[in-house]
Structure 1
Amino acid sequence: MSIDGRVAIVTGAGSGLGRAHALYLARQGAKVVVNDLDPAAAARVADEVIAAGGHALAGAGSVTDEGAMAALVATATDAWGRVDILVNNAGILRDRSFAKMTIDDFRLVVDVHLIGAAIVTKAVWEIMRAQRYGRIVMTTSSSGLYGNFGQANYAAAKMALVGLMQTLAIEGEKYGIRVNALAPTAATQMTHGVLPDESLAALDPALVSPGLLALVGEGAPTRAILCAGAGHFAAAHVTLTEGVRIDDADTDRALVARWPAVVDRAGEIVPAYGFVQAEREVASVAAR
């Protein structure tokens, strides 16, 4: 699982979880481009890496700015000739209940988390395809996977990143590109005020970053969702139940009556691709 000598980009790495990721990857031997919206913050973290004996460059700019992200990737390729690892970490919060949330705040959060990750990923995609090697991590969240009060915008963006990860993993497979998702729980500027102080004390961001090695190393999986926090690691899955076929004339009422069978999780699967659902539905007709 060595990443020694690999070239990595970490977005939103001027503080918090992104900083921990950058420092961790550098300790594992990767050359790191530290991105942040704040140029001074990016430079400080790059200096930390260099002071510890690692290799780093700073690259400021918003992940929503295509030109800035193209320049960020050029910083990596001009210095080191390639990009092997991308950790899409940049994000913001605009928490409010949906009743009180403005569409502007909804759109802003989606733009940074989802569109920003797509922009940076697009900037490295052809490089990784050409070199037939790449490791990409999308930062999702339990808020997206399972919901959380007051985070409709954040949850929508984070679950969308899982869909992006699933499809890019399929499209990148023959080019040696593996795409995974990390759902971290960490005490950062984004989580202060969201989690109680006693919980924050146990959630050092540095305890999440070791999970990256499994997701970006030589033998990394693809399409994995790793949940990490406080040194605890678990995997999340999007599953499909076995379900039932209903032939009754009153399908709607029959469905209501057989709802327990529809949601029964015995025999559920993790589909290899989205069309599995349609294949199973068509097969159920042929099996009548």
Structure 2
Amino acid sequence: MDTTFILNLTCPDRPGIVAAITTELAAIKANIAESNQFWDRQSGMFFMRIAFTAPPGLDREGVERALRSPIERFAMKSSLVNWTHRPRIVIMVSKFDHALLHLLYQIRVGWLNAEVAAIVSNHADSARTAEWEGIPFHHWPVTAETKAEQEERLIELVRESGADLVVLARYMQVLSETLSDRLFGSIINIHHSFLPSFKGARPYHQAHERGVKLIGATAHYVTANLDEGPIIEQETERVTHAMSPEDLVAAGRDVESRVLARAVKNHLERRVMLNGHRTIVFV
């Protein structure tokens, strides 16, 4: 059977980039299934994502050899993945499990192509969910004294499980600068507000105090700066003056779950490319 690959590349923009890549793909009889590109005029950088099938017998190394010439000629930063590989994720959660449950459901019905390698929590509340799903569960309480040790255990878990992504599905702990830097680009958080508004704790209560008419959720890559990482996905929900902070929390659960699932899907399908502090998202 044909093998599906996804190629991501970025380089300074100049004429001939698309032609150079597609010519080499045609030479190895690859069939392009999807192609997206973007020229960021402000930075002068070019971004491209191509999904294609290669004929039987042509492995990743063979495709890389075929593309080496244009990649070197245009000084491209590139990544090539075999899409038959099912990505593995580690999900971290605290007490609120709605985003976790939504991710598990989307995986179960096949909309999200992923395997959950482990669920990690600083509370024991989700142990029964993990047991029901047949997923290893790690209950790691966090204190000021144990935080560094817990983060080292997380790094080890990611390494041992071969996880491609860590998902903070309402994990209510601030990660250290060291961990954020080590996992940058491979750890996604869902924040329960429409960033950059209402960062930090209790954003729905902050929103209620300001009398907002829209609440939202933001999925972003984690950085050392709290709630300021590159944004992947956002959505809003209309609210009214008659709603209490608890009503806003309830309305926000569905938004948070949808936004996080879309962000995870786009990341795993290699649709998200970092562009400085911003992202390019090919959908």
State TM-score, norm by structure 2: 0.43
